[in-house]
Chain A
Amino acid sequence: MAYAQALQALGDPTRRSVLEELRDGPRAVGEIAARLPVSRPAVSQHLRVLKEAGLVTERQNGTRRLYRVDPDGLAEVREYLEGFWEEALANFKAAAEQEERRKK
């Protein structure tokens, strides 16, 4: 499941910070590293994981390699949120119906 990989990638707070730096648009590794207390190689490593998880894409722009958020990856995360409520409500339904039977 792609979203499972996305979740795992997002489990690291520093990696989330890296992703959040892409919120306003494409960035190069150096730009991200300059804004975070993280070394450039570490930022590169985080970006690699995010890319493998489908959350980030990269593209060469002249001499610069730019990273941006991949909307498809976030769609996976949304599916995860939807799935969470579905599972919670299915459990809730079972509990409520059990309680109703107990009362009768």
Chain B
Amino acid sequence: MTVTATETIRKEIFVDAAPETAFRVFTEQTAAWWPLHKYGTFHEDAETVVFEDRDGWRLIEKAKDGRETVWGEVLDYEFASRVRFTWHPERDADDEPTEVEVTFTADKDGTVVVLEHRGWENLTGERRESRVGYDNGWPGVLEVYRQFAEG
């Protein structure tokens, strides 16, 4: 397997808005921009995706019929500066999650937003058989990719 498979995915984008605004839109208006119907686990039944405080902040996808699935837990955050969360759609929280960190840095009249998705190398342990088996969509892909990233 190629080495690049475990490299952190890094995306940088300039946003013409203050860091405070960028941070709020990312964490408080997540559903306004997340491509949910294309990249959610409930597909056309998806209603929203939100960061919610439930004994700690979590990123939760909700379906129209009330079903929910936790995509990740916020590990730490600093208002208008950064947020870091685990990322495990379709898997249990303790089941080898990958990690996403987003930083917001003031630059000129706007904000440089850097997103890093890492942890592909954390491929130890057995897979859980109990994970929910959504029948299609990218979370399954994510899982398979992770399973093989280390090769």
A78 to B138, CA, bound (A): 11
CB pair A75–B2 under 8 Å, yes or no, is yes
Looking at B59-67, B68-76, B77-85, B141-149, the stretch in contact with chain A turns out to be B141-149
Bin chain B's interface residue count.
35 or more
Contacts of B137 in A (CB 8 A): 11
Question: In this complex, what residue of B is CB-closest to A86?
Answer: B11
Interface check A28, CB cutoff 8 A: no
Distance A20 CA – B33 CA, assembled complex (angstroms): 33
Interface of A is mostly: helix
Are A87 and B140 in contact (CB-based, < 8 A)?
A: no
Interface size class of A (residues with CB under 8 A): 35 or more
Q: How far is the CA of A10 from the CA of B117 in the complex (A)?
A: 21
In the complex, which residues of chain A have a beta carbon less than 8 angstroms from the beta carbon of B38? 87
Query: What is the minimal beta-carbon distance from A97 to any residue of chain B, in angstroms?
Result: 5
* A75 CB, min distance to chain B CBs, angstroms: 7
Q: Give the one of A8, A85, A87 with max B CB within 10 A.
A: A85
User: Which of B13, B138, B147 meets A80, CB within 8 Å?
Assistant: B138
What's the least CB distance linking A17 to chain B, in Å?
10
Given known A71-B2, A88-B35, contact A20–B127 (CB-CB < 8 A): yes
Confirm or deny: B55 has a beta carbon within 8 angstroms of a beta carbon on chain A.
no
Would you call A92 and B113 a contact (CB within 8 A)? Answer: yes
Q: Is the CB of A78 within 8 A of B145?
A: yes
Contact of B138 among A7, A82, A95, A97 (CB under 8 A): A7
**Assembly CA distance A71 to B2 (angstroms):** 7
Apart from the given pairs A77-B145, A88-B39, 11 other A-B contacts in the complex at a CB distance below 8 Å? A11-B137, A16-B140, A69-B151, A75-B4, A86-B11, A89-B11, A93-B15, A95-B25, A99-B21, A99-B24, A99-B25
Enumerate chain A interface residues (CB-CB to B < 8 A): 6-8, 10-13, 16, 19-20, 23, 69, 71, 74-75, 77-78, 80-82, 84-97, 99-100, 103
B interface residues with partner A (beta carbon < 8 Å): 1-2, 4-5, 9, 11, 13-18, 21-22, 24-26, 29, 32-35, 38-39, 111, 113, 115, 117, 127, 133, 135-138, 140-145, 147-149, 151
